[in-house]
Amino acid sequence: MKIVKDELAEQQRTELGKAIASAANARWLKDVATADFVTAEAEVQRLLRALGEKRSHNGEHQVTLVEAERVKIDVNKLQDRLGERLWDQVTSSTFDKAKLENAVELGIIPAEIVAECATIEKNKPFVRFSLYEADEDA
């Protein structure tokens, strides 16, 4: 029975090795494709601008140059300009986890109350890739 388990474990190790190589290769291909896309997209943008066009096609694919803008507010400057009364009208208080943790540490809020209101959620698992160095197993 132990021989069968050992053979199964060895087979799974071989499969794992192949899966690691496949995933690492796919990750590398993704990175290369992303870099190639960034370069190609920049070239398309450059040529569209040079031609003064917003849209074009090559008979198979169509591209549209999207140039959006948004308003960015300098919140500190706005707060200074509005003053406290008007500022309070355009803002709302939000939960601050760091302040809660500090209040628990100082004994202002009992940890039991927070525990009753908290749940633990698992993050989506992922595999981190790095170059293997033989010294890591030592």
List average pLDDT for each run of 10 residues in the chain, which is 138 residues long.
Answer: 82 94 95 94 94 91 92 92 90 90 93 92 80 67
Instruction: Provide the number of structural domains found in the chain.
Output: 1
Residue 43 lies in a domain: yes
Residue 138 lies in a domain: no
Residue 101 lies in a domain: no
Residue 92 lies in a domain: no
- Tell me the C-alpha distance between 39 and 8, whole Å: 46
**Which pLDDT belongs to residue 124?**
86
Q: Is the Cα dihedral 9, 15, 16, 17 positive or negative?
A: positive
Residue 27 lies in a domain: yes
**Which pLDDT belongs to residue 93?**
86
Burial of 56 (0-12, 13-18, 19+ CB in 10 A): middle
Residue 52 lies in a domain: yes
Tens digit of each residue's pLDDT (9 = 90 or more) over 8-33: 899 999 999 999 999 999 999 999 99
**Which pLDDT belongs to residue 131?**
74
Give the pTM: 0.56
Give 24-28's long-range contacts (Cβ < 8 A, gap of 24+).
24/129, 27/129
**Which pLDDT belongs to residue 136?**
57
- Asked whether the beta carbons of 48 and 63 are under 8 A apart, the reply is yes
Residue 11 lies in a domain: yes
Q: Which domain holds residue 2?
A: 1-68
Element (H, E) at 56: strand 55-57
Residue 115 lies in a domain: no
